Amino acid sequence: QVQLQQSGPGLVRPSQTLSLTCAISGDSVSSKSATWDWIRQSPSRGLEWLGRTYYRSKWSSDYAVSVKSRITINADTSKNQFSLQLDSVTPEDTAVYYCARDPRYSSGWSFDHWGQGILVTVSS
Amino acid sequence: QTVVTQEPSLTVSPGGTVTLTCASSTGAVTSDSYPNWFQQKPGQAPTALIYSTSNKHSWTPARFSGSLLGGKAALTVSGVQPEDEAEYYCLLYYGGAQGGVFGGGTKLTVL
């Protein structure tokens, strides 16, 4: 039974860095088949994929064009978790942030397990 | 900017059948878009229902099915239950730098 447990602050000041962590149980962040993704949801932007990290023969990350200059997603194998950092946030980054697993059943995407979500508000 | 369009809202009676659709601004949706469907209830994370057009997860109730219909991805719920009242989102895969795009969601009311 795969479970994803998110943690991190619910309030971030403008221009600061948003940092969230997703702890994995029931699978390994070093899985050679899955990817570990971050997705956010807001009333104005809907559901928006942000990026992912994955291990094949080495660690790789892919990012959405909309946040590519500000985002970093890393894995911590010692804690079996992965993290999201989003720099220079503005109120437009206010959203519920989810982590999710893509088991890579096919060449397309599928997110079969999701974290519980954390509402992050960007405000002074 | 690719847009994925869903019906904003649909209403169905308990026991009835309803079909939700998912269209792409780039043209007809095909199996190469690997359509996914998710259900989201208020205050909860999305739950995966369908992947790669018509494949169900182990937890997906049998009354949910996915298909391609008239150039769109479709989610059909047969024998609707009151607990099926929720928001439903589709996800289409475009590959390359665009990756995947979610639809705006359909609010399904069971009345």
DSSP string, A43-68: TTTEEEEEEEEEESSSEEEEE-GGGT
Residues pairing with B19 in the sheet: B76
**Binding-site residues on chain B for chain A (CB distance < 8 A):** 32-34, 36, 38, 44-48, 51-52, 55, 57, 89, 91, 93, 97-105
The residue with tokens 């971050």 is A38
Q: Please tell me the distance from the alpha carbon of residue B3 to that of residue B79, in angstroms, as a whole number.
A: 31
Cβ-Cβ contacts under 8 Å for B1 (sequence gap 6 or more): none
Please report, in tens digits, the pLDDT of each residue of chain A (124 residues total). 999 999 999 999 999 999 999 999 999 999 999 999 999 999 999 999 999 999 999 999 999 999 999 999 999 999 999 999 999 999 999 999 999 999 988 888 899 999 999 999 999 9
Assess whether pLDDT exceeds 90 at residue B1.
no
Closest CA to A24 of A41, A9, A42, A3: A3
Cβ contact B82:B38 at 8 Å: no
What does the pLDDT read at residue A63?
94
> In this complex, is the C-beta atom of A48 within 8 Å of any C-beta atom belonging to chain B?
yes
Chain B's closest residue to A106, CA to CA, is B52
What's residue A71's pLDDT?
97
**DSSP letter at B57?**
P
Q: State the pLDDT at residue A47.
A: 97
Distance CA B12, CA B18 (A): 7
Dihedral sign, Cα of residue B76, residue B83, residue B91, residue A77: negative
Option in A46, A49, A111 nearest B99 (CB): A49
Contacts within 8 Å (CB) and 24+ apart, A33-36: A33/A103, A33/A104, A34/A101, A34/A102, A34/A103, A34/A104, A35/A101, A35/A102, A35/A104, A36/A73, A36/A75, A36/A82, A36/A99, A36/A100, A36/A101, A36/A102
| Contact residues on chain B for A106, CB-CB shorter than 8 A | 34, 51-52
Residue A23: predicted pLDDT: 98
> Looking at the predicted structure, is the pLDDT value of residue B31 above 90?
yes
Give the pLDDT of residue A107.
80
Mean pLDDT of all residues belonging to chain B: 96
Structure confidence at residue B45 (pLDDT): 98
The Cα B94–Cα A64 span in angstroms is 13
The Cα of A15 is separated from the nearest Cα of chain B by a number of Å equal to: 26
Q: What is the pLDDT of residue A105?
A: 82
**Quick one: pLDDT band at residue B52, thresholds 50, 70, 90?**
very high
Is the distance from CB of A40 to CB of A98 less than 8 angstroms? yes
Tokens read off for B9: 């809202």
pLDDT class for B98, splitting at 50, 70, 90?
A: confident
Q: Measured between CA atoms, how close is B8 to chain A, in angstroms?
A: 13
User: Between A and B, how many residue pairs show a Cβ–Cβ distance under 8 A?
Assistant: 64
